[in-house]
Each structure stands twice: as C-alpha cells, then as structure tokens.
Structure 1
Amino acid sequence: MASPPSTDHPDRGSQHGRGRPRKTPDEKNEGNRRQDLIKAAAKLFRRHGFNGTSTRDIASAVGMHSGSLFCHFKSKNALLYEVMQEGMRSALARQTIVLLAEHDAATTLRQLIRSHFDTLLGPNSDFMHAVLYESRSLDTQQRNVIAKLQGDYEAAWTPVLQELSLTGCLQAEVPLARLLIFGALNRSVQWFDPKKGTSLDDLTDAVMALFIHKKSR
C-alpha cells in the first residue's frame, strides 16, 4: 500500500511562506531599544555634557549592559550624531506643518517662533540642546550634515521675513533680522524657567513685539 502523502510542508510553522522568517522577540525589541538609547543619551548629554557622559551611563539608564550599546551604535560619537539628527528631523517636521498652513506673514512668523520655542523648551528639548552645544564633538562630515539641516531650517524663515519687510512690518535687513531672531530664541534655553510663570505664548508675544511693528491703519 502506498504511503499517505506527507502533510509536512517546507514552510510549515511559518505564516510568511516564502517571505522573511518571523522576528524573534529580541529582534522585535531592537528598534525600541535603539530609540531608548537615543532618548537616554540626549537627556544625559544635556545634564552632564557629551564628555561628561560615558557609554556605561547611557546603557545603565535603559537597563542594558555597557557593551550592549555597541550592538546599536558603533561609538558614543555615532550616538550623539543620531541624537542631533533626531533633533533636527523633529524641528523640520514641526516647521513644515506651520509652513503648509495658509496664513498671512505675521501669523506665520508667530507660529514659526512658537514652534521653535516648543522645539527648544518643550518635552523633547534635550535633542535640540545637543544640536546647539555639542557640535564640536562631531567629526567634520557629521558636522556638515547637521549644519546643512540647520541651514535649511533657518532659510525657510527668509520668505516670511521678506514679506514682512516689504510691508514695513520688519524694520531691519532680512539677513540681520533672521540672525537676531534666532540668537534671541536660542539663548532662551539658558534662562527660561517655566516655574516663574512665563509661558511659551508669553515668550512668543514678546519676540513679536520686539521685531515686528504693526502697521497703523
């Protein structure tokens, strides 16, 4: 009697058939662990500085052995670079939302300023702190990439300022005004304290009052 056909199949046990094999729990968690390391590094770099933070400190903050960090990043420098890229990606995403809205130039500038304060002083501000103060720890190629992202971010404000200049609301040369505005905004990370009762909306109003003059009707 012929043997019954085998019910075994080469792909038995896998719902993916010819696709990729299922990820193990450790592999599924790998992306989350990488993000945990980035967040922990950003916080520690802000608190202790890049040079004052060790890879052991970062790994310990997320409950990992110190050597495990190098399964995700080849060096502390590479981790800093990722922190800074994350900061700029977030800033650019916020800015894009503002620029896609259809508003007059003064409203757009107000929203750009408010968005920038959120980036600098909001819940995820650790990332931008690294962008502002730790670029010296990057290599030349990394520094150029971050500088390009910063340049793109700041350049997007130019058309808005130009429109305000043409209407007489901005009484300074656009390139100089942009430098002064970013200098004032970025410096706020050194002195802003929400416990003193000043809100980000208050800061935004103050910046607008300093740089933008309302046209009299």
Structure 2
Amino acid sequence: MTSKPTTAGTAAAASAVSKAGPRRRGRPVKSENDSLRGELIKRSAYLFRTQGYDNTTVRDIAAATGIHSGSWFYHFKTKQEILAAVMEQGMTESLASLEAIGLHTLAPRMAFQRLVEVHLHTMLAPNHDFIPVLLYEWRSLDKDARSRIVKLKDRYEAIWDEVIAALHQSGDWSMPTRLDRLFLFGALNWTAQWYKPGRTGLEELAAQAVTFILRTSPRPA
C-alpha cells in the first residue's frame, strides 16, 4: 500500500468536471439511471485514486458527476458502497478481457504474454482507475464487500494459475512457486507508480516484463 495524495477534494472534483463537461443537475430520471450510475462509479474511481478514499467526500463525487449531493444517494446509500462498486467493476472488466482472449488457442508463453498485456492495460491505460483503487484502498472495504471482491479475485488468479501451469509443462517456466506469483503481481502492479505513457508502449512493456519474469527470451520459430 502507498500513502494517499493530499490533493484538495474540491479542486480535484472541479478538475474532473472540467474534463468531462457539465451535466444536467438534479434527480436523475429513470432513462438516465444506468449511465449515471456508471458515471458515478467512474468519477469516484478517479477521485479515490488521485486523492484517496478517506480524503474524498460525497460532495466531491457529486460535483465531479455534475449532480446535487442528494441525487448521489439515489444510486448508493454510502460511500463504502460506491468503493465496493468501483472494485467490482474493475475486476469484472478485467475478467471479461481475460476470458475474451481465447487462451487455450495460444502457446503457453504467448498466452502468458497476453495475460500480462491485459493486466498492464487495466493498470496503466487512460481512465483505468478501478484496479489501482482496489490495490491502494483494499483495507477501506468492509467485511461483506471484501468477501465479494475476493471471489472475483480468485477467479482472476485461477486463469493465471492455469497458464502458469502450462508454462511449467512446456519448460518455459521451470519451477514456478506460490511466491513467484506474488512477486509477479507485485512487479506488474508497481508499474502504476513509475510508468510514463509515450516512452514504451504497453505491448513492448509486456514483452519485456515476460522476459524479465521468465528469464528467457522467446524461442526461435
């Protein structure tokens, strides 16, 4: 976990509003429910990531979304609920991305590289704040919400375990251990602290990460 930035809540919220443009204020009509709920989750993720969960207020979230503070409670009863929704959305989207790859059709090393690419994209692509919030604000979740996120996390890691087992059988990763997986995720997740867009593309970054983790270059075709 890292220390949370001390950016002023009102300034961050105003910045988020200016980036997205103004929204109509007031209680949302039914046709807006899904889109407004999604916008609340997205803007909350941005605020939780940039200024921290504890430093983000209900007023910040309402201002960033362009609604009255009371309208916020039309979708979520507490700030804790929206934190859980941010993490659930991040894990759900990540799972969908992994499951869409078709890993069983790929050679083990390529399947592993695709997993790394998806993970890095989830962490580093613009407006992808959900998973970083999960990493930095995990301890802010209540017990019930944490159990729901753990189930999604277990499904996510099970996909990685299957590919790592195939890597071991192919000889590309000679002796993977449980600690190796922890080192793997630790290294990938820490890129959120130092990666700067433009210097290295995400695909190239993923390829270099795979070489570093497996300690071998791709085999000649």
TM-score by length of 1: 0.83
- 1:87 aligned partner: 90
1:177 Cα shift?
2.6
Please list every run of 5 or more consecutive structure 1 residues that lacks an aligned counterpart in the other structure.
1-24
Identity among equivalent pairs (%): 39
1:160 aligns with 2:163: yes
1:174 Cα shift?
3.7
The secondary structure found in structure 2 opposite 1:43 is helix
The secondary structure found in structure 2 opposite 1:134 is helix
Q: Distance in 1 between matches of 2:175 and 2:135?
A: 25
Moved over 4 A (4+): 214-217
- Which amino acid in structure 2 is aligned with residue 210 of structure 1? F
1:100 Cα shift?
4.8
1:70 Cα shift?
0.7
On the 8 A contact 2:46/2:127 being kept in 1, the answer is no
1:166 Cα shift?
2.1
On the 8 A contact 1:165/1:174 being kept in 2, the answer is no
- Which amino acid in structure 2 is aligned with residue 144 of structure 1? S
Q: Distance in 2 between matches of 1:90 and 1:211?
A: 25
- 2:54 aligned partner: 51
TM-score by length of 2: 0.81
1:184 aligns with 2:187: yes
The secondary structure found in structure 2 opposite 1:157 is helix
Number of residue pairs aligned between Structure 1 and Structure 2: 192
Which of 62, 66, 76 pairs up with 1:73?
76
Q: Distance in 2 between matches of 1:186 and 1:79?
A: 23
- 2:201 aligned partner: 199
Please list every run of 5 or more consecutive structure 2 residues that lacks an aligned counterpart in the other structure.
1-27
1:98 aligns with 2:101: yes
Q: CA RMSD in A?
A: 1.8
On the 8 A contact 1:81/1:138 being kept in 2, the answer is yes
Relative contact order higher in (CA < 8 Å, ≥ 6 apart): 2
Return the index of the structure with the highest Cα Rg: 1
